Structure 1
Amino acid sequence: MRNLNRIGGAAAITAALALTACGGGGGSTGPETAKGQEAGSDLSKLISVNEKPAADLEQGGKVTLPLGNIGPDFNGFSNNGNSADNSALQIPMNPVAVNSGGIGGCWKLDFEGKASPNKDFCETVENEVEDGKQTITIKVNEKATYNDGTPIDIKAFQNTWNILKSPDAGYDIVSSGAYEFVESVEAGSSDKEIIVKTSQPVYPLEDLFFGLIHPAVNSPEIFNEGFNGELHPEWMAGPFKLDQYDTAAKTVTLVPNEKWWGNKPVLENVVFRQLETSAQIAAFKNGEIDAMSANTISLYKQLEGTSNSEVRRGQRLFAGGMNLNAQRITDVAVREAIFAAVDREALRKVRFNGLNWEEPSSGSMMLLPFSEYYQDNYPVKETGPEAAKKVLTDAGYTENANGIMEKDGKPAAFKISNFGDDPTTLAFTQTLQQQLQAGGMDVGIDQRASADFGKVLGSREFDMSVSGYTVGADATSAVKQYYDSKTNENQLGDAELDKKIADLASIEDNAERNKAAMEVEKEHMAKYFSMGVVMNGPQISFVRTGLANYGPSLFQSLSQVPDWTTLGWEKK
């Protein structure tokens, strides 16, 4: 499942693709020249985390990291809780449930996006296909137990399946994914052996049980409402545990979990603070937080030269910029005109101004251009103000006295929601507004705080937002989340596309399956115009000198922490 991200530079701690790493105490050198990668890149060169063995680090210590929003809904499987910040917050204390970001439930990813069993929870995962039927056998770690003493066993797997297998059961799930093809989840020789049978083969295997839901979360009421303002640490399992959630100070403090059976963490404290972008700048310069993203030139210049810091630079695993709410912008012609009016290159120049970053126009929400499976699916070839007006004219719109295109007395009018107080992000939104206005549309800006991001996007309280999603290494789960008519939040699609999406999950060959997913995206974009990629963009992180095992780490970590048990400080 892909997490929502706003396009701003600092709020979401997200996975990133490192191209270079410059350090040396925050010297005033400016960003290094870098380009977005294309297929065939040597991804082993694209990691920058200051990797150190845990044994070589100071035992103990504290790390403080910023988030754009903490809560209010902490259920990452629900639409209201589906944000990158929520995942980043919960990975260190609840990796059993986190359903994206490099680790979750039965699975963990390496930096290239290859999956293997997460042995803290699932020691082995075996797959067998016979006569078109698939049997998956999972051996659960005997020690795996939730904080409340509930064993992680067949009940957790059955509960996860029952909740996620259908969007029609009353649970506000993001996507049913491959669970709709699961026929049964039963215990084998013990409650720690899980036998999963499917109605058709399901690939990739990690689309199942990448995150498990505690058996106590067993009703739509608990799932949809029970995590509003409540973290429920008793239903978690991980190397850290919740020490304090201070709603007034907007901080979450974690300490090592004495019940954890895996590798013990180096740190004795992890603190997350909810901070607006401007507050993050002051906090980092004052030594109150230990890292922050600086993905715009305004942020970079304000942080440049900060003592006791270094820069770790890369490419964000992000796609987006134009997120349209089709339940508000209901006319597909208006949505197509938005795509036609946008000058993506000009927007990227605003966004990347001064960052020495170049990238081609990306045309997929699901894969980045460096993926061997990538193809450009952007649905509009003719762009500019006149192209946008032609789309509207062909749909029956005419220009009124104010220069706004309207139809049946109703103007093409909407607002763009912009989050946070970073001036570069606002300039990007204002430039987008001007491009759309030049295309004959009446467009305003709905300015929101970073802390409102999860609520606004989760409850669909926007017309168009400057936001997007994290990008994975395989398009199979994303194509269903974004483009299945029963799953995507815009409820756009049709039976023909839904059938293609259902069929592709059973294609074992990775290249063939991803090609099929790409073709679905191409067709959906050309019909419905709901999400458009303006940019992928760089990840530039300012990090406190001496912080080890933190930084851009590709698909291995959404939070830039490849392994929370090894995050710590170099010995002085």
Structure 2
Amino acid sequence: MRNLTKIGGAAAIAAALTLTACGGGGTPTGPETAKGQGAGSDLAKLISINEKPAADLQPGGKVTLPLGSIGPDFNGFSNNGNSSDNSALMAPINPVAVTGGGIGGCWKVDFAGKVTPNKDFCESVDSKVVDGKQTITIKVNDKATFNDGTPIDVKTFQNTWNILKSPDAGYDIVSSGGYEFVESVEAGSSAKEVIVKTKQPVYPVDSLFFGLIHPAVNTPQIFNEGFTGNMHPEWMAGPFKLDKYDAAAKTVSLVPNDKWWGTKPVLESVVFRQLETSAQVAAFKNGEIDGMSANTIALYKQLDGTKDSEVRRGQRLFAGGMNINAKKITDVAVRKAMFAAVDRDALRKVRFNGLNWEEPSSGSMMLLPFSAYYQDNYPVKETGPDAAKKVLTDAGYTANAAGIMEKGGNPAAFKISNFGDDPTTLAFTQTLQKQLQAGGMDVGIDQRASADFGKVVGSRDFDVSVSGYTVGPDATDAVKQYYDSKTDLNGLGDAELDKKIAALASIEDNAERNKAAMDVEKEHMAKYFSMGVVMNGPQISFVRTGLANYGPSLFQSLSQVPDWSTLGWIKK
């Protein structure tokens, strides 16, 4: 499942960045990549975490990290809780249920995107296909237990399947993924052996049970409403546990979990603080937080030269820029005109100004250009103000006295929601606004706080948002989440495309399956025009000197922490 994330840098910990030195003369460390990577590139250039073994770290210590938003809905499986900030928060305390990033439930992902069983929860996962029927056998770790003592066993897997298999059961799920093709989930030789049988083969197998749901979360009311303002630590399992959630102070404090059976963490305390971008800058410079993203030149210049800090860089796992709510902008001609009006190159120049970063026009929401499966699916070739106005004219729009294109007395009018107070992100939004206005549309800006991001986008309370989604190594889950008419948030699609999406999930060959997914995206974009991908981008992480195993981690971590048990401070 792909997590929603803002286009701005500081609030979206899921992002990873790359750049060369700029600003006030600081000496950057880490990879010197200044271009988006293409297929076959060395992905090691895109990782910078100051990797150290636990034996080289000081036992104990505290790390404080910022988030753009904390809550209010802590259920990452739901639309309201589906954000990169929420996944980052849950990674150390609830990896059994994390729905995005490098670890979740039965699975863990390495830097390059290779997926293997997460033996803290699932010791082995075996799949066999006989006569077109697939049987998946999962051996659950005997020690795996939720914090309240409930064993993680077949009941957990059954509950996860029952909730996620269909959006029609009343659960506000993001996507049913491959769960709709599961026929049964039963116990094998014991409750710790799970036998999954499918109606048709499901690939990749790791699309199933990447995140598990506690058996007590078993009604739509609990799932949809029970996590609002309530983290439910008793239903979690991970190396850390909740010490205190202070909604007024907007902080979450964590300590090592004495019930954790896996590797014990080095740190004795982790604190997350909800901070707007400008407040993060002040907090980092004052030594109050130990890392933050600085993905724009304004942030970089403010942080450059900060005492006891260094810069780490890598590729940002992000695609987006113009997220259109088709339930508010209902005319496909207006949405197509928006695609035509956008000058993506100009927008990237605003966004990456001063960062010495170059990348080709991003043409997919699902894969990054360095993927061997990537293809450019952007649906409009003729762009610019005249091209946009022609789209509207051909659809029956004419210019009114103010120069706004309208049809039947209804102008092509909407607002762009911008989140946070970063000046570069605002400049991006203003440039986008001017491009759309030049195409004959009446466009305003709806300014929101970073803390409102999850609520606004999750509840679809926007016309267009400057946001996007995290990007994974495989397009199979993403194509269903974004483009299946039954599950995508815009409700766009058709029976023919839905059939293609259902069929591709049973293709075992990775290249063939991803090609089929990319072809669906190309067709959907050309028909419905809802996800205006503009950029991927770099990320710069400013990090307190001496912090080990933290930074841009590619597919291994949304929170920039590849392994929470080894996050810590180098011995002095």
TM-score, normalization by structure 1: 0.98
Native 8 Å contact 1:77 1:173 kept in 2? yes
For the pair 1:186 / 2:186, whether they are aligned, the reply is: yes
Any residues of structure 2 matched to 1:417-496 within 5 Å, and which? 417-496=417-496
What's the CA shift for 1:28?
2.1
Structure 2 counterpart of 1:86 = 86
Native 8 Å contact 1:4 1:82 kept in 2? yes
Question: Could you tell me which amino acid in structure 2 is paired with residue 28 of structure 1?
Answer: G
Q: Secondary structure at the match of 1:137?
A: strand
Question: Could you tell me which amino acid in structure 2 is paired with residue 130 of structure 1?
Answer: V
Structure 1 counterpart of 2:26 = 28
Residue deviations 1:187-230 (CA, integer Å, cap 9, x gap): 00000000000000000011000000000000000000000000
CA distance in 1, matches of 2:325, 2:300: 32
Residue deviations 1:467-512 (CA, integer Å, cap 9, x gap): 0000000000000000000000000000000000000000000000
What's the CA shift for 1:30?
7.2
Structure 1 counterpart of 2:130 = 130
Native 8 Å contact 2:5 2:84 kept in 1? yes
Structure 1 pair 67–390 and aligned structure 2 pair: CA distance change class (3 A): same
Structure 2 counterpart of 1:415 = 415
Any residues of structure 2 matched to 1:302-381 within 5 Å, and which? 302-381=302-381
Structure 2 counterpart of 1:297 = 297
Native 8 Å contact 2:548 2:567 kept in 1? yes
Question: Could you tell me which amino acid in structure 2 is paired with residue 289 of structure 1?
Answer: I
CA distance in 2, matches of 1:221, 1:276: 31
Q: Secondary structure at the match of 1:551?
A: coil
Structure 2 counterpart of 1:218 = 218
Q: Across the two proteins, how many residue pairs are aligned to each other? A: 569
Identity %: 85
What's the CA shift for 1:331?
0.1
Native 8 Å contact 1:19 1:315 kept in 2? no
Residue deviations 1:512-539 (CA, integer Å, cap 9, x gap): 0000000000000000000011110111
Residue deviations 1:100-136 (CA, integer Å, cap 9, x gap): 1110000000001110000000000001000000000
Question: Could you tell me which amino acid in structure 2 is paired with residue 176 of structure 1?
Answer: S
Native 8 Å contact 1:243 1:254 kept in 2? yes
Structure 1 pair 163–157 and aligned structure 2 pair: CA distance change class (3 A): same
Structure 2 counterpart of 1:120 = 120
CA distance in 2, matches of 1:33, 1:125: 37
Residue deviations 1:544-565 (CA, integer Å, cap 9, x gap): 0000000111100011000000
Structure 1 counterpart of 2:246 = 246
CA distance in 1, matches of 2:412, 2:516: 35
- Structure 2: which 5+ residue stretches go unaligned? none
CA distance in 2, matches of 1:372, 1:421: 36
Native 8 Å contact 1:140 1:192 kept in 2? yes
Q: Secondary structure at the match of 2:323?
A: strand
Runs of 4+ in 1 over 6 A off after TM superposition: none
Structure 1 counterpart of 2:60 = 60
- Structure 1: which 5+ residue stretches go unaligned? none
Structure 1 counterpart of 2:382 = 382
Q: Secondary structure at the match of 1:368?
A: coil
CA distance in 2, matches of 1:257, 1:376: 45
Structure 1 counterpart of 2:565 = 565
Q: Secondary structure at the match of 1:203?
A: coil
Residue deviations 1:335-392 (CA, integer Å, cap 9, x gap): 0000000000000111111000010001000000000000000000000000000000
Residue deviations 1:379-408 (CA, integer Å, cap 9, x gap): 000000000000000000000000000000
Residue deviations 1:296-333 (CA, integer Å, cap 9, x gap): 00000000000100000122100000100000000000
CA distance in 2, matches of 1:273, 1:519: 41
- Superposition RMSD in Å: 1.3
Any residues of structure 2 matched to 1:70-109 within 5 Å, and which? 70-109=70-109
Structure 1 counterpart of 2:9 = 9
Native 8 Å contact 1:548 1:568 kept in 2? yes
Structure 1 pair 196–30 and aligned structure 2 pair: CA distance change class (3 A): closer
What's the CA shift for 1:33?
6.2
Q: Secondary structure at the match of 2:443?
A: strand
Structure 1 counterpart of 2:177 = 177
Structure 1 pair 33–53 and aligned structure 2 pair: CA distance change class (3 A): closer
Q: Secondary structure at the match of 1:390?
A: helix
For the pair 1:153 / 2:153, whether they are aligned, the reply is: yes
Residue deviations 1:403-443 (CA, integer Å, cap 9, x gap): 00000000000000000000000000000000000000000
Structure 1 pair 561–432 and aligned structure 2 pair: CA distance change class (3 A): same
Q: Secondary structure at the match of 2:370?
A: coil
CA distance in 2, matches of 1:17, 1:523: 30
Question: Could you tell me which amino acid in structure 2 is paired with residue 468 of structure 1?
Answer: G
CA distance in 1, matches of 2:309, 2:12: 20
What's the CA shift for 1:45?
3.3
CA distance in 2, matches of 1:175, 1:525: 19
CA distance in 2, matches of 1:553, 1:340: 35
Native 8 Å contact 2:70 2:86 kept in 1? yes
Any residues of structure 2 matched to 1:482-521 within 5 Å, and which? 482-521=482-521
Structure 1 counterpart of 2:38 = 38
CA distance in 2, matches of 1:33, 1:275: 29
Native 8 Å contact 1:15 1:556 kept in 2? no
Question: Could you tell me which amino acid in structure 2 is paired with residue 154 of structure 1?
Answer: V
CA distance in 1, matches of 2:26, 2:225: 48
Native 8 Å contact 2:45 2:314 kept in 1? no
Q: Secondary structure at the match of 2:221?
A: helix
CA distance in 1, matches of 2:443, 2:76: 32
